[in-house]
A and B are shown apart, each in its own frame.
Chain A
Amino acid sequence: MEVKVVRNVLDVNAKMAAENRRFFAENGIFVLNVMSSPGSGKTTILEKTLTRIMPEIQSAVIVGDICTTNDADRLSISGAPVVQINTDEFGGDCHLAAHVIENAARQIDLAGLDLLIVENVGNLVCPAEFDIGEDARVVVLSVAEGEDKSVKYPLMFRECQACLLNKTDLLPYLDYDLEKARQYIDQVHPGMSVFETSAKTGEGLDSWISWIRERVAEKAGLQQQA
């Protein structure tokens, strides 16, 4: 006997993510989901970003890693409250799911918060599949990873609104074709915002920070209207 089901496998996560989104909207908090393969420079970019936007933009961070609190220790120096998630407690998950964000957000004092940044687990595949209730998604790609990552991992690049091409200070030492990397990104996601950055030297971070500022201001404005 055939029984019709037609249920999305991730519907529980989607429901939780929608609840997170409503909750963050009520509090006027802009939520940014930062993803990349391991070591592209997410934490370094966030360290630099936080020191430049705090305390004007009140920020907090949820950072996911399979193990260690190294990233949380680095990010805490900015003064922003940081919650470290170690997914080995959840079976070594390769991504942060919506219920994990909901739990972590409870540990943060949300009063007066403008921006919540989620540094996802280093992985260019899985996190793209899981809605966490964020407002925007960005992917960091270091120039040492090659020009064609966007076409090899299209879901991630389709799902993100912006891409940071990081570690540009290394370009003199690499045979990396920036123009080609931009062409590939434009092919996978036409119109995607692309920022060339060096988290090491700070070069290119200005336009990235303006991008965040605009969106945080917009979200806060929406809450005041409501």
Chain B
Amino acid sequence: MHEMGIALQVIDIATAAIPPEMRGCRVERVNLRIGKLSAVVVDSLNFCLEIATRDTPLAEAVFSIEEIPVVAQCRECGHEWQVARAVFKCPECGSGNLEMISGRELDVVSIDIEEQFGSQAQNQ
């Protein structure tokens, strides 16, 4: 439900990451990492991104979202596994004393910027 807020934040972060000398270039791709345990619905995020990027350098960008599985490690026996069906108990020893390895990500990993502008300048 707060996907629009997340989308605006993604756009802020991605726009700020454009190096000053490449201002005005189009961003072709934004690579995101979203954990399966995070409270974000990927479809609604995509929808919000499409609307919110209009008239920004990200207007034509493809948002590539890598969904990260929920992985836990048992603090008692060290066993590491992928959590399924919301069972947060070690399948080896039954302990609930876990370290969460992944699943909460909500990261902008990188952006791809078109080089046309720069290379054109070089060709001339």
Contact = CB atoms under 8 A, between A and B. Distances in A.
Looking at B87, B97, B118, the one whose CB has the most chain A CB atoms below 10 A away is: B87
A9 B38 CA distance: 12
A188 B88 contact: yes
A132 to B, nearest CB: 14
B61 interface: no
Contacts of A129: 2, 38-40, 106
A91 B4 contact: yes
A1 B113 contact: yes
A12 interface: yes
B68 interface: no
Contacts of A187: 86-89
Contacts, number: 92
Interface string B90-124: 00000111000000011111111101001000000
Looking at A8, A9, A10, A187, the one whose CB has the most chain B CB atoms below 10 A away is: A9
Looking at B18, B39, B40, the one whose CB has the most chain A CB atoms below 10 A away is: B39
Interface residues of B, number: 36
Main secondary structure of the interface of A (DSSP, over half): mixed
Looking at B5, B9, B22, B118, the one whose CB has the most chain A CB atoms below 10 A away is: B5
Given A126-B39, A188-B88, A8 B107 contact: yes
Contacts of B86: 150-151, 154, 187-188
A41 to B, nearest CB: 21
A24 B5 CA distance: 26
A7 interface: yes
